[in-house]
Structure 1
């Protein structure tokens, strides 16, 4: 049975892993710092020990020389025993014995110092290796921590984005089906009904004409003409909703002007449209994209934000296109994700397809400002 992990659970797991790795990194740091401190102390102690060893060697050599002369003196006294007094003989013997004892102790201390020196050198080598391994391990832990903090977060964001895109894709399919049903109903209830009525009226015209009722036939023809005009208007309206023909014929700016004028009149509200820069035709994909972005933004401001005033600014530069849609609606918190905010997701997708950026600045109760910037190079 498959186990489904929620976004919060994944975040919790990543946070736990980051916490463990950070603690491990701190422990490694403490070990490394402790080893460095001990290393510095041992370096100082080794230096002092080496100085003591040299001093003991020097003193031992000097004392050994003295012992050598003292033993020669003792040998001479022993050889000519009758020439010296008992006190002189005892003094030479005791002096030589003291120097020999002192030399033995000095050599023993020297040996202890040599062993201490060798031990300190071995400990320093091991500490150096420990510090080196700790630094290497700290570097690896830092890399792991970077992966956890950045790459794993990106993976989580990618999963969330993938979920959003999947939901958006499903919403697009639903919207397409809903749009098809809407168009089907509009055509069935509008032009199709009118065409059926026109067909019936044309039969009445033919019947009246055959019966010699010319005036009735002419009246029916005028009625049929009126119905044809109405049907043509409905067909054109449906086509305009699907894709404004003015967008292909006149371009983006005139189409937006006409759209804004119609929607402002229909909703009895104020919508200002300002164009900065040269009003020129753009690449078709940019015209379609920006028209749909204006449509979505204005519809959101009216339908969801309940705005009464909307400002739309469109700036055309040599290397960029910028559009700002500002309203005085009720606003929202952009940080709070709405699972049904597919309109904003769709806008973001359109802008990203053009390598642009979409910024939403909104405060609850103070309206919303949408800024769209897209790089553009006229062909």
Structure 2
């Protein structure tokens, strides 16, 4: 009994130290985010001013180039008919032409320097934007970890029988949160962040194309830019869905699934049909979230791995259970073969087991896949 108390006291000390460390880390990340945001706003304004100066220098250079052209023509005319002009007239025309050429050379040099400054600012802004996004994502995940450490983890700890079980459970929670934070950070960095950086570059290219190659080429670039923005919007929506669809709390399971499947069908160019059966009703949050995640994972597997052209989704609600069926016409696989990176199916099985449900996978190479999940729900 004494060893049990000593173990609990030691564990509480560890938890308190972890809370302090995580809290300090959160404050530091917040400060990094704020500093980066302030620098981002400052550089953004400087970029706007620099672009304005580049445009002004381009216009000035074009006007000077036209003046140099006319001045050279005038000088050529005077040189050919020098007997009709005085030496002073010829000298003035020559000096004027030389002065205009010097002004044009200086203006072009300034334009080159401002272009380099503009490109450097855009590069720094992209890096700052990436830093801000990662800091915000990291801060959100740390808040979740901190919540577990300060509230949920302590409540769970009180229910466990000994210090060893509490330590193992806590480590699993932290490990899972760290992995989720890395995944989300990686998805944002590789997806929307990269796409938005490309949008910034392409938007500048549209302006340059309009000036150099005309409105038709510029419109073509605008259409390409629109596709990039659409892709970035899809990635953002997908990440939000992965975190937690807000409609789930407000509208319930069936309307949220309809919206999710419509979005997946629209952006993946794959036919997905959805058929709900039974009387629609609301469940406890843990059941609605679990059912949504299970169906989401099954659909994502069909889209990413099965190379399916059609996916059929059915959800049946009865008075004591809910059944989910996801069937695709993809390449299929052998369920008896264990794959090194089949974490999706492992996670689905663990979630089903936690809800005392059943999960069955019918598949074979070349004959598609059907996933059937039954979750008992009473009341």
TM-score between both structures, scaled by the size of structure 2: 0.42
